[in-house]
Amino acid sequence: MKAMAERRARVARIRGAQHLLAAAEQSNADAKVAQLEMSVTRLAELRDSLTVPVGATSGAALQNRGELANRLDKARHSMGDAIASAKVLASQRAAERLEARQKQEGAEKLDARAGQALAAWLEQRSAVPFRRRPGHFEKGDY
């Protein structure tokens, strides 16, 4: 009975650690999505900052700005797939965290029940009066 309670407590601790690990992985995946989205926003801001200055401008300067704007647009649009896959991974991690939390809660309930059962068993055992076994003598019995 005591071994079962200890085993249940160990399982509850392991499930708690698994939930913490799943939470950390979800947090990392969410941070990756936020980082990629921030990068896309920053690329858009850089692209928008490439305005043509007022006044005389050479053709080479215009061509350079146009080329840079084109590259920034391509980079921003190519990040769409990376963001989509990062979001899918983040949602998978969220589901894994939820599953780990459910397992942790189940293990905690089993641990609590095992503790209650052990306490009841010990109480029941202590309520039974002590009986001497045949063949065993105490002082004064000889």
Single-letter amino acid, residue 61: A
The radius of gyration of the chain's CA atoms, rounded to the nearest angstrom, is: 34
State the pLDDT confidence band at 59, using cuts at 50, 70 and 90: confident
Which token pair is 61? 């300067």
pLDDT of residue 130: 66
**What whole-number distance in Å separates Cα of residue 71 and Cα of residue 54?**
23
Predicted TM-score of the model (pTM): 0.69
Buried b (16+ CB within 10 A) or exposed e, 70-108: eebeeebeebeeebeebbebbeebbebbeebbebbeebb
Q: What is the pLDDT of residues 5-44, one digit of tens each?
A: 888 899 999 999 999 999 999 999 999 999 999 999 999 8
Domain boundaries defined on the chain: 2-49+68-125
| Structure tokens given for 57 | 């401008």
Model pLDDT for residues 108-141, shown as the tens digit of each residue: 998 999 889 888 888 888 877 766 666 666 665 5
